[in-house]
Amino acid sequence: MLAIIGIVALALSQSSATVADLIAPQPPAARPQPNPIIPARGIASAVPASRWDYGFLTGNGRTAATFFGQPPSETILVNHEKLFLPKAERPGILPDLGEYLPEVRRIIREKDAARPSYWATDEFMKAGARQNRLTPDLKSVAAEEFLRAKSAEKGKNDPPRASYHPGFELKIETTDAGPVTNYFRTTDFQTGEVAVRWENSRGTHARRLFVSRPDNVTVLSITGTGAGGVSCTLYVPNVAEREPRMVCRLIKSDIRADRDWIVLRTEYVFDKGGYDSAIRVVPRGGTVESDGKKIVVSGADEVLVLMKIEPFAKLTPRSAEGLKAAIREDENQAAVIEGFEHGIFGEFVSGHQEDLSE
């Protein structure tokens, strides 16, 4: 305390200020102003998310999108609320197994806790294929076998269980231009918008992502510094490239791209259902090329990406075309695309924000 008093006294002796001046409230202009990049209500990080579960999430209750990855390679993972691996047999009335809960807890505690992991072994693969889901629960194998036996005693051979799975990943590969600096990402809790900014030798790069409530479409804006500041490659890896090998036996995907669209037809191996995904890429300026799998944008001022997932119970020959038409013909989306030259992202956001305020 004496040291503090001495410092204040020294400061006063070397200036014309009084103690009252030092402790008086600062006028608004002199107060520290909030960082315009950090949302008033939200979260921020200066470290890229190395994995999807460290990414920043946005959604509307039906569709969700997670942004992660280290520039110049970034990923958007898009999910839908109805994407569950189907069972080969539809469940009927579920058996009441509540009376066995204490025994299940004992088995997990005494047997499964001591069981060695068998990830990626033949036993693991057979168990996952038999249950028709992504992975067997590695820590509750004995407990699950016990429940299956008790369920069979009650006339149900296999307790119904479904596994949630992601829809697709959109990869954004920006043309490399040296080390990345000043990385920053945020989520605005008031609007649901995820924003990412970083710099390299070509300037500042920004991505803005949200999921529209009124249109149920995921919207991404990609910008760089100045005219022609965006050069990137957009593509969706096949499920075989991004998931454990078990998934490849349960899901099959066909991915096609042209200069405007990336379209996915995803079917479940043990069911007639699946889902379609459509991604529309709309650059402002620059050039666009496609090799049938990827879209390469060069020298654009901005790139708008619209993404949509639609599950189906039964495959139809042109269901993906219907999804593309839904994106193309939506009134709000059309207004944005037609007004591209006048600044795209804001108009689309306005409809979303109006919906949130209702």
- Which CATH number do you get for residue 234? 2.70.98.50
Average pLDDT over residues 240-258: 73
- The phi, psi pair for 173, rounded to 5°, reads -110, 105
**Number of domains observed in the structure of the chain:** 2
252 and 121, same structural domain? Answer: no
Mean pLDDT of the chain: 76
The pLDDT tens digits of the residues spanning 277-292 come to: 999 999 999 999 999 9
CB 158 within 8 A of CB 26: no
Q: Does residue 63 belong to any structural domain of this protein? A: yes
Q: Does residue 312 belong to any structural domain of this protein? A: yes
Q: Does residue 19 belong to any structural domain of this protein? A: no
Q: Does residue 60 belong to any structural domain of this protein? A: yes
At residue 45, does pLDDT exceed 70? yes
Confidence label for 273 from pLDDT (cuts 50, 70 and 90): confident
Residue 78 one-letter amino acid = V
Residue 356 one-letter amino acid = L
**pLDDT at residue number 285:** 94
178 and 77, same structural domain? Answer: yes
353 and 305, same structural domain? Answer: yes
Q: Does residue 20 belong to any structural domain of this protein? A: no
274 and 147, same structural domain? Answer: no
Angle between helices 345-357 and 331-338 (to 10 degrees): 150
Q: Does residue 27 belong to any structural domain of this protein? A: no
Residue 317 has which token pair? 């020959």
- The phi, psi pair for 263, rounded to 5°, reads -125, 130
182 and 290, same structural domain? Answer: yes
Boundary residue ending a domain (111, 132, 153): 153
At residue 181, does pLDDT exceed 50? yes
Nearest to 348 by CA among 306, 297, 310: 306
239 and 341, same structural domain? Answer: yes
**pLDDT at residue number 97:** 87
Q: What angle do CA 142, 147, 151 make, to 5 degrees?
A: 150
Alpha helices in the chain (DSSP H): 2-13, 19-23, 101-110, 122-131, 141-153, 239-242, 245-248, 319-329, 331-338, 345-357
The lowest-confidence range among 88-92, 269-273, 283-287 is 88-92
Q: Does residue 231 belong to any structural domain of this protein? A: yes
**pLDDT at residue number 115:** 53
Average pLDDT over residues 346-353: 52
**pLDDT at residue number 7:** 35
208 and 64, same structural domain? Answer: yes
Best mean pLDDT range from 54-63, 85-94, 264-273, 316-325: 54-63
Please tell me whether the overall predicted TM-score, pTM, comes out greater than 0.75 for this model.
Answer: no
Strands (E), the chain: 42-45, 56-59, 63-68, 73-80, 168-174, 181-188, 194-200, 203-211, 218-223, 230-235, 251-257, 261-268, 274-284, 287-290, 294-300, 302-312
* Euclidean distance between CA atoms 202 and 232, whole angstroms: 13
281 and 204, same structural domain? Answer: yes
Q: Order the strands of the 194-200 sheet from edge to edge.
A: 42-45, 181-188, 194-200, 203-211, 218-223, 302-312, 274-284, 261-268, 251-257
The pLDDT tens digits of the residues spanning 4-17 come to: 334 334 333 343 44
325 and 180, same structural domain? Answer: yes
Confidence label for 323 from pLDDT (cuts 50, 70 and 90): confident
Boundary residue ending a domain (108, 125, 153): 153
**pLDDT at residue number 231:** 95
Confidence label for 87 from pLDDT (cuts 50, 70 and 90): low
DSSP 100: G
298 and 179, same structural domain? Answer: yes
Confidence label for 96 from pLDDT (cuts 50, 70 and 90): confident
338 and 230, same structural domain? Answer: yes
Q: Does residue 28 belong to any structural domain of this protein? A: no
**pLDDT at residue number 291:** 96
**pLDDT at residue number 121:** 45
The whole domain housing 79 covers 42-83+166-357
* Euclidean distance between CA atoms 206 and 216, whole angstroms: 23
172 and 248, same structural domain? Answer: yes
More confident residue, 343 or 307: 307
